[in-house]
Amino acid sequence: MTADLGAASRELRVDAFLLAGQFPGAGHGDTLRTAVTYAQAAEQAGFDGVWLAEHHFVTYGTCPSAVAMAGFVLGRTSRLRVGTAAANLSNRHPVALAEEAALLDAVSGGRFDLGVARGGPWADLEVFGTGLDRYTLDGFAEALGVLLATLSGAGTVRGDEARFRFRDVPVVPRPPRALPVWVAATSPSTVDLAAGRGLPLLLGVHETDVGKADLIRRHAQRGAEHVSAHLAYVADTTAQAEDVLRATLPGWLARAAEHVRIDGTTTTRNLADYVEHLLAIHPIGPPDRCVQLLTGTLTGTGVRRVLLMVEAGGTPERTIRNIERLGAEVLPALRAA
């Protein structure tokens, strides 16, 4: 069933999604510098934008500040929109994050997109001093409200929330308009919060098209510019793509277990099953199959903006080649379709 979200009236955008994941043989600095070259390659290949992930204290993603990384990528590119998927609002003061977003919007000529996440109950909350209270849905909702007020285009902002009380202060730099914000959502409660604020969703790679369509229907905001993330890897055959990813993905995904909860526990996942799940639902294989699967996503969910996670090949050479093939062999056919 096609999602009735008015998608036909909106332009299709295809962006790259970079986690800056550490693979064997690369150090942290090498990984981050290489991620910048991936963004530049994406611009050259014809992608519309790049979104950057944020993680703390893990090598699954070595970028601890998607906003800082976005500033650097904006300076190294001229056309791409650059977004955060997503900045962890539970770790940050919302006014400080809003100021940085307004700064990047100003210096880039409006090329910056801010996506925020509630995150998880990780040790980050202890390290940065915000605590579990900020991770609760109420805490996230209050922070989101202050963030939106600061980015509204108003000349001043005041904190009247239980967790954020401060005097009326000028917003500097003041956005010339209300800046858009996306919310990373994996749960119905977060979807409801985003819908109540009129904010579009960032939908993750773990979810199927059916699951994403369900979340979008729950959101029920016609015409919202939701963004759907997908693992993407182009090869001459599906078997070739799967062989590469079965060799690289388990080691990379295992590093997500480096996340430590604030109570000291860690997460576990059946990696073999998860890898097979990703291979089954995402655009992996020859270009025509990638186009077919992505077209199915567009039709089934109504989204008009997709993020393609391009780094799963595990080496810079494979990733650059993947970006080039996506740009030359997938994007034009997808836009035509």
Asked if residue 2 belongs to a domain, the reply is no
What domain count does the chain have?
Answer: 1
Position 222 scores a pLDDT of 86
CA-to-CA distance for 37 and 42, rounded, in angstroms? 9
Give the pLDDT of residue 8.
Answer: 40
Domain for residue 1, yes or no?
no
Q: Is residue 167 part of a domain?
A: yes
The answer to whether residue 281 is domain-embedded is: yes
CA-closest candidate to residue 23, choices 323, 327, 313: 313
Beta bridge partners of 50: 16, 82
Among 73, 95, 75, 93, smallest CA distance to 83 is for: 73
Amino acid sitting at position 10: R
> What pLDDT score does 268 carry?
85
Q: What is the CATH number of the domain that holds 152?
A: 3.20.20.30
Rounded-to-integer distance, Cα 118 and Cα 147, Å: 13
Q: For residue 71, give Cα distances in angstroms to 13, 74, 174, 179.
A: 21, 5, 18, 16
Q: How far is 84 from 33, CA to CA, in rounded Å? A: 17
Q: Confirm whether 80 is domain-assigned.
A: yes
User: Is 63 among the domain residues?
Assistant: yes
What domain range is 31 assigned to?
7-336
pLDDT in tens, the chain (337 residues): 334 443 444 799 999 999 999 999 999 999 999 999 999 999 999 999 999 999 999 999 999 999 999 999 999 999 999 999 999 999 999 999 999 999 999 999 999 999 999 999 999 999 999 999 999 999 999 999 999 999 999 999 999 999 999 999 999 999 999 999 999 999 999 999 999 999 999 999 999 999 999 999 999 988 899 999 999 999 999 999 999 999 999 999 999 999 999 999 998 889 999 999 999 999 999 999 999 999 999 999 999 999 999 999 999 999 999 999 999 999 999 999 8
Task: Please report whether residue 76 resides in a domain.
Answer: yes
Residue at 242: amino acid letter: E
Q: Round to whole Å and give the CA distance between 287 and 308.
A: 14
pTM for the predicted model, two decimal places: 0.95
**Concatenated DSSP letters of 324-335:** HHIIIIIHHHHH
Where b means 16+ CB within 10 Å and e means fewer, 242-272 reads bebbeebbeebbebbeebbebeeeeeeeebe
CA-CA distance, 155 to 145, in Å (whole number)?
A: 16
pLDDT of residue 204: 97
Residue 62 lies in a domain: yes
Strands (DSSP E) contained in the chain are 13-18, 49-52, 81-84, 87-88, 112-117, 156-160, 165-170, 181-184, 201-203, 227-231, 233-234, 284-285, 305-309
- For 123-134, b where at least 16 C-beta lie within 10 A, e where not — what string? bbbeeeebeeeb
Which residues are 89's β-sheet partners?
none
> Pseudo-torsion of CA 187, 188, 194, 196, nearest 10°?
-160
